[in-house]
Structure 1
Amino acid sequence: MSTFCVVGGGLAGLEFALHSALKGHRIVIYEAGPQLRTNHVHFDTRVFDGDEKKVHWTADEHWALGGISERLGGRSLCYHGVMLPLEEKALNSWPEIWQKRLKGPAGLYHQLQQEFTAKYPEMSRNQAVNLPLHHAPQAAVVGESAAFTSYSPLYQLEPLIRDGVITIERATISQVEKKSDGFYLVDAQGQTVNTTGFERCILSASALVNNKIITQSLARSTIAQVTDHYCIGVAVKVREGERIADYRHEMLWHGFSEHHDLNANIFVVERNNFDNGDRLLLLMAVMEQNPALSDYSELHCRYHEGKTTLEIQSKHSDAVIENYNQLASRIVDFASTQLGVRLSPLHDTAVEQSEAFFGASEGIDFEQALNALNETERTNIYTRFVFPYGAYEHESCTHPIGGHGDIALTDSLELTAMPGVYAIGPGAFPRLGIANPALTICSLSRWLASHL
């Protein structure tokens, strides 16, 4: 029985650990945060000390300083389960061998979609919707009293932990050292956490933290690319018309509309009506930082006197800013057209009336938008909300498959500069694409579990 170590207990790490253990390997998971939750974050709404986001980097004003949640389960209990494959345009920029692994009847996408469809009704639930929308496949279940939960490998670990096949240790890992008998991990206090060497080491922390660990392990500074999705939404209040569909839960979209000419998808849900009967719809546009239009932002991991610090320098070309501004207009036009009403901005500001939206709505969050609509008597209106660039938790492309230099991965997800060390998660993506990355994360993790 081989023993592997996994650094990070989010979706990528737990998915690898589960499927590697099922194939007969022993796994030790090192996670910085405790197990504060056992259910999906939008169902388990308790507030825990230590559940706050921690910031591990500095950045300019165009990259969010939202930080990282450190807890067992991590983002595997945060994401809402949309399971879309990468669109063809994005996947075509991946190495050909990975296109073959992911696509087609025998590909990982199809295998996982079939598995999730058998277990999670929301993957294929056929709901009549009064708009031309694609179904949004979600690996989720809505149970009694509208209790919502989505797929996480965390739920399946208990018997393997009980049998000693998987062990979970709480530690913040900062460095990987290779010795003659295997890999040893060093924590943030400089202490080696294992007494026996591991045969393989899998880095599955966030895309940013993986690079920090790699830099600290190599004892030299590195520069990598980094990107995230741009997300802009509108909350719409209208009085006329029939509901687009029955509302079932805040985490379930009624569907999405493809706007690939603007490198985006627009997700739509109609919430319960306001108390006075007015309708409330939410539209969220998720946009890729298309590498054909702009260089990705840069992640600088600076190694100095035994410590590594992170700095992000964001990049937005004029073409990407124009793409974003067009999308900000498109989402309102799309809502107006589909609802058959002319929507006006709630806030009659110069920004809303112009076509220069990029960065203009940084201060309007989701709850503020809903409260503003609830407090006004006006109808046929909208207000914007945003998740700032770098805050959507889809940080990607930092140690890409087929990349260059110390932080590149081989086609087998092995770190070029550190044989025997592998890196998974969205940091391994050569291109992020438009789709939510969850299905692709699961695919990479399961492939590596089979490969090793």
Structure 2
Amino acid sequence: MSMQRSGADVVIIGAGMAGLAVARDLVERTNASVVVLEAGPDAGHHHIRQVYSEDEANRMWLAPEADPNFWRPYDASGAHYLGISGLRRRVGGRSLYWGGALLPMDTWAFDGSWPAEVVSDLTAGWEGGAPLFDNIAAEIRSWADVAPLPTAPTLRLAGHTFGPTPHATRREGNRWAAYSPLDRIDAAATQPTIVPENFALGVLMDAGQAVGVRTTAGDIAASHVVLAAGTVENSRLALQALAKVDPSQDHRLNGLVDKIAQGFTLACAAEAASPGLRQAVSPGGTFHRTLDPRLRSNHFVRLSKREDGAIVFDTWLMGEQLQTDASAVHCTPTDDWPWQTTVMAALSQTDEELAEVQRAFLTDFWLDIREEFGFGGTDLSFEIAFGSQDLPERLMSTKTGPLPTGPVSYAFPLGAELHEAGTTPLGAMLTDTHEFKAIPRLYAAGPSSFSRPGAANPALSILALARRLAGKLACG
């Protein structure tokens, strides 16, 4: 990497999953000076499931006001992107909170929306070796110190077959942790330099290109700037920079998406369940199956035991919200940075149709499996509108209390799955090298760069694209 050293070769805004992965891979490949800015503190590098009990960790997820690092840097217009939606303002970000599901982008999502070169690097081969999806998955298996997950189906329910969901997790004592790029960064190393409690106000521009970052602690010059602050904050920073290039443009980025996710949960006494279900719940875990691409969804099942021995069953569909003008990030310009940011989110007609199809699918699935739990003629009801405002209560309703409980239906409001994406897409706003077409030397990492979100959990795609971006920067 040949860069002018002035402040830093690369400044990365955001010390979460994407920003740390770019920084770690870039330092491994080059001798570049890399600075990672984080708005929040360095509050420790352990995953919350390692630090807290299961009940405490669930409370921090579903009642995030209990977490001093929870941060919602935007206003929300409507019923979505409220409640549990928001960021974790600390070094490590959401990489210290996620559940570890490691699924590649759905094949059907690569339908021409993504640049062909990007798809090839992710799925066919990267730099003469394995494709990036395989590259990252192998590295995480090594981190987890486990053999490759079996491919044979391991869960059957009334004729429905599910395979084990690949996870970037490992046991640490009697608790577990999910992978974070922090695990691969030596705390004693001089690079990358992670600077906590340094909020990025905006990108500095000169002659139409990015030349640094203005922070609450002062200006930092840089040859290259990477936005990795999460989709909504990336959008604000991009809109502020784009306004320097064209002050007349609309201060709005369309195409904001999250997942369309809904399901049901229940608990029953172990003796009321079928022998096959009792066997499957030990050791339990998360399973999934891919569905017809027309459903744009994956189907998940999670099995666990309560302290009283009762079986807890949770199943949900996670589907793709299509990118439209119905959901967007909008900024109101002010004299100073940061600009006020508002998230506008709504289901399009196509999304509403998918939500109804999901409910019909789950209702039929329940009719097939209810005898496995001894529920007989009990029906499943989706009496709630999409986006359960009492989501935490519904999700936790089967964790305690008299048996049997449920089935209790739920639907995540947009933003609550924390998979928001799509406002600075590759191929449209970004070049194949992840650089803004309108602003040289400014790049975007993380799910804001997704050309199409698919239905899969985004972490593997975030890590794969981060490695790709680091490779492009190293060659630049």
TM-score class, shorter-chain normalisation, is: 0.7 to 0.9
Correspondence for 2:330 among 300, 322, 328: 300
The residue identity in structure 1 corresponding to 2:445 is: I
Question: For 1:123 and 1:28, how far apart are their aligned partners in 2?
Answer: 35
Change (3 A) 1:257 1:89: closer
Q: Report the alpha carbon displacement of residue 137 of structure 1 after superposing the two structures with TM.
A: 0.8
Tell me which residue corresponds to 2:425: 400
Change (3 A) 1:247 1:27: farther
Tell me which residue corresponds to 2:178: 150
Change (3 A) 1:373 1:298: same
Instruction: Provide structure 2 residue ranges, at least 5 long, that are not aligned to the other structure.
Output: 4-8, 61-65
Tell me which residue corresponds to 2:16: 10
Alignment deviations for residues 232-255 of structure 1 (CA, whole Å, 9 cap, x no partner):
121123422132524458xx4134
Is 1:223 the counterpart of 2:248 in the alignment? no
Tell me which residue corresponds to 2:133: 109
Tell me which residue corresponds to 1:316: 347
Tell me which residue corresponds to 1:383: 408
Correspondence for 2:117 among 97, 119, 136: 97
The residue identity in structure 2 corresponding to 1:149 is: A
Question: For 1:433 and 1:284, how far apart are their aligned partners in 2?
Answer: 16
Tell me which residue corresponds to 2:232: 208
Correspondence for 1:430 among 442, 446, 451: 451
Alignment deviations for residues 285-336 of structure 1 (CA, whole Å, 9 cap, x no partner):
2111135xx6551221222333412222223233321321221232243244
Question: For 2:44 and 2:410, how far apart are their aligned partners in 1?
Answer: 28
Query: After alignment, is 44-53 or 110-119 more displaced?
Result: 44-53
Q: Report the alpha carbon displacement of residue 172 of structure 1 after superposing the two structures with TM.
A: 0.7
Alignment deviations for residues 262-285 of structure 1 (CA, whole Å, 9 cap, x no partner):
21112111111562x542211122
Q: Report the alpha carbon displacement of residue 142 of structure 1 after superposing the two structures with TM.
A: 2.1
The residue identity in structure 2 corresponding to 1:58 is: A
Question: For 2:168 and 2:108, how far apart are their aligned partners in 1?
Answer: 24
Tell me which residue corresponds to 1:233: 263
Change (3 A) 1:39 1:416: same
Query: After alignment, is 106-115 or 42-51 more displaced?
Result: 42-51
Change (3 A) 1:54 1:182: closer
8 Å contact kept, 1:344–1:382 = no
Change (3 A) 1:345 1:315: farther
Change (3 A) 1:54 1:373: closer
Tell me which residue corresponds to 1:329: 360
Q: Report the alpha carbon displacement of residue 362 of structure 1 after superposing the two structures with TM.
A: 2.5
Correspondence for 1:421 among 442, 449, 452: 442
**How many residues get paired?**
429
Tell me which residue corresponds to 1:364: 391
Change (3 A) 1:345 1:385: farther
Change (3 A) 1:85 1:421: same
Question: For 1:433 and 1:424, how far apart are their aligned partners in 2?
Answer: 17
TM-score normalised to structure 2 length: 0.82
Q: Report the alpha carbon displacement of residue 16 of structure 1 after superposing the two structures with TM.
A: 0.3
Question: For 1:448 and 1:129, how far apart are their aligned partners in 2?
Answer: 38
Tell me which residue corresponds to 2:280: 245
Question: For 1:156 and 1:449, how far apart are their aligned partners in 2?
Answer: 15
Alignment deviations for residues 101-159 of structure 1 (CA, whole Å, 9 cap, x no partner):
111253211222232233335683338434410221111112432x2112111012125
Correspondence for 2:100 among 75, 81, 100: 81
TM-score normalised to structure 1 length: 0.86
Question: For 1:216 and 1:79, how far apart are their aligned partners in 2?
Answer: 30
Matched residue SS, 1:301: strand
Question: For 2:226 and 2:367, how far apart are their aligned partners in 1?
Answer: 48
Is 1:133 the counterpart of 2:190 in the alignment? no
Correspondence for 1:290 among 279, 304, 322: 322
Tell me which residue corresponds to 2:43: 36
8 Å contact kept, 1:266–1:283 = yes
Matched residue SS, 1:254: strand
Question: For 1:385 and 1:121, how far apart are their aligned partners in 2?
Answer: 35
Query: After alignment, is 3-12 or 214-223 more displaced?
Result: 214-223
Question: For 1:192 and 1:60, how far apart are their aligned partners in 2?
Answer: 36
The residue identity in structure 1 corresponding to 2:78 is: D
The residue identity in structure 2 corresponding to 1:253 is: T
Question: For 2:210 and 2:293, how far apart are their aligned partners in 1?
Answer: 46
Alignment deviations for residues 362-396 of structure 1 (CA, whole Å, 9 cap, x no partner):
3232x5444357434446x4002333111211110
Question: For 2:67 and 2:164, how far apart are their aligned partners in 1?
Answer: 37
Question: For 2:398 and 2:330, how far apart are their aligned partners in 1?
Answer: 39
Correspondence for 2:462 among 433, 438, 441: 441
Change (3 A) 1:358 1:265: farther
Tell me which residue corresponds to 1:263: 296
8 Å contact kept, 2:387–2:411 = no
8 Å contact kept, 1:271–1:279 = yes
Matched residue SS, 1:375: coil
Correspondence for 1:279 among 311, 324, 329: 311
Instruction: Provide structure 1 residue ranges, at least 5 long, that are not aligned to the other structure.
Output: none
Q: Report the alpha carbon displacement of residue 356 of structure 1 after superposing the two structures with TM.
A: 6.6
Question: For 2:213 and 2:227, how far apart are their aligned partners in 1?
Answer: 11
Tell me which residue corresponds to 2:202: 175
Question: For 1:319 and 1:53, how far apart are their aligned partners in 2?
Answer: 31
8 Å contact kept, 1:232–1:286 = yes
Q: Report the alpha carbon displacement of residue 410 of structure 1 after superposing the two structures with TM.
A: 1.0
Q: Percent identity?
A: 24
Runs of 4+ in 1 over 6 A off after TM superposition: 46-49
Change (3 A) 1:240 1:182: closer
